[in-house]
Amino acid sequence: MRFKVRSECKNDNASDPSRWVETSLLPKGIPGTAAVDLSCAWHNLEYMDCKWHPGENASRDTNYTLFYWFDGLKNHKKCNNYSVHQGFFRCVFNLSFPKVTNTYSAVRILIRGDAEEIRPVCASKHPTTLVKPATPRRLTLSKINDEIHIGWSESDTFPENCLFYEVEYHNGDLDAVQHIKVEKNYTLIPSVDPNSKYIFKVRAKPKPECYSSKLFSDWSEEKSIGEKTDSTFYFVLTIAIPLIVAVCTIILLVYLKRLKILILPPVPDPREILKRMFGEQNEDSQSCAKDDSVNAYDKLIKEEEIHSLILTETPECVNSEKEDR
């Protein structure tokens, strides 16, 4: 904190005041331990949401405490709704002013650690620069002829006519996204394609004549209307139809070829028939000659066998004669 002091004559307006004498009061704590990157948002004129990072020289187990006050409060207040997520400290506290007021006092914030070596940090935030409207809800869509009517819920914490809305829509092509600005919580989109599917979402922003904030609300949940035939179906159909036709054609050709063979069998060549006939006769004559030679050979074998039998029987006859004698 810096202080400056000077003196001047009480009754003599013609004399010049003395020069300023300046002094400063350094905060306690180790440099680099104070909270950094403090950012706050006043959500829907109902509560303040502040976030910050710990100092680079602060230990991992450092705990910070946030205090706040503004004109109209008798004493400063302590924020108790703390959370830590991915290295961010966060604290939320209620903050509201009368809806009819046109002036908002600055909110002063003090963040300090739970140990003396943690250096405190002070900040002054003007709430009108931090206003963030609530997300539009209850998005409704209806189609009448070639027009799409769209509506959504309106926040009841803002004065009347202090918000405008941005509507984003497209028909599936992200390169052709369109935005329109409206001052009411409803609008219509004329001349739409009846065969296309349209996707909508809405967000709100304070009007500059009411608040100097540049913060938009979060986008509403997307809603769609209409039906659009999947292009993948057409792509698959385009490939499948020629493939099916080709397969059917091949099957039909094979079938017709077999059917042709059954209905119109091939005519035999007369020359082949004659060759087969003469060839069979030659084979028959050759087979007959072979059979004759085989029969003659068999006869010869039989005769030899007969002679052998006669020769074997002859001694027996001789012996019998000798015995008779």
Query: Closest by alpha carbon to 150, among 118, 111, 126, 178?
Result: 178
CATH superfamily of 18-132: Immunoglobulins (2.60.40.10)
Q: What pLDDT does 10 receive?
A: 81
> What tens digit of pLDDT does each residue of 86-125 get?
888 999 999 888 766 667 889 999 999 888 889 999 999 9
| 181 phi/psi in degrees, rounded to 5 | -110, 135
Query: Closest by alpha carbon to 172, among 131, 230, 235?
Result: 230
CATH superfamily of 140-225: Immunoglobulins (2.60.40.10)
Give the DSSP per-residue string, 176-241: G-EEEEESSSEEEE-S--TTS-EEEEEEEEE-TTT----PPPPPPPPEEES----HHHHHHHHHHH
Residues 6+ apart with CB under 8 A from 219: 135, 168, 201, 202, 203
Query: Closest by alpha carbon to 43, among 181, 210, 213, 184?
Result: 213
- Most confident residue range from 104-108, 128-132, 294-298: 128-132
Task: Report whether 113 contacts 62 (CB < 8 A).
Answer: yes
Stated pTM of the model: 0.63
Q: How far apart are CA 14 and CA 238, in angstroms?
A: 96
Q: What pLDDT does 144 receive?
A: 85
| Fold match between domain 18-132 and domain 140-225 | yes
Domain boundaries, the chain: 18-132, 140-225, 231-280
> What tens digit of pLDDT does each residue of 185-215 get?
999 988 888 778 889 999 999 999 989 999 9
Task: Report whether 200 contacts 223 (CB < 8 A).
Answer: yes
Q: What pLDDT does 268 receive?
A: 66
Residue 232: which pLDDT band, with cuts at 50, 70 and 90? low
Q: What pLDDT does 318 receive?
A: 45
